[in-house]
Amino acid sequence: MPNVLRAKSADEVNIALSDWLKNFPVKVETELPNEASKQWIKLQEEQGNKVLDTSWIQDVGDLGTELSGYLYSMSELYISDRMNSMLHLKR
C-alpha cells in the first residue's frame, strides 16, 4: 500500500484505497439471501450472535463516494458456500 503511505490527505488515502480495491471486484449474485444463507442467518440469530455496526461505511463525507459504495456493496453480500470459509459447519 505504498500509495496510501504517500498520500498527503484523507481524500488521497480514500482514492488510493478505492483504486486498490478495484483489484477485488464484488459480484453480487442475487439481491436476496438464498436458502443456505437464510439458514446461516437463522443460526446466527438463534445463537445470539450480533451483527457488527457497519453504518460508518456509508459515510460518503469521510470515505468518498467510490470507497463507501464498494464497502457497502460488500456488506450486503450473503455467503452461503462456507466450505472454504474461516468457519464451516457440517450438517
Query: What per-residue confidence (pLDDT) applies to 53?
Result: 79
Question: What band does 51 get if pLDDT is binned at 50, 70 and 90?
Answer: low
Instruction: Please provide residue 22's backbone torsions phi and psi, each rounded to the nearest 5 degrees.
Output: -60, -20
Q: Are 20 and 69 in contact (CB under 8 A)?
A: no
pLDDT digits (tens, 9 = 90+) for 57-85: 899 998 899 888 888 888 766 666 555 55
As a whole number, the mean pLDDT across the chain is: 78
Q: pTM score > 0.75 for this model? A: no
Q: Which of 4, 31, 38 is closest to 20 using CA atoms?
A: 4
Q: Which of 83, 84, 59 is closest to 71 using CA atoms?
A: 59
For the chain, the straight-line distance linking the first and the last C-alpha, in angstroms and rounded, comes to: 40
58: its cell numbers: 456509508
SS3 assignment, position 57: helix
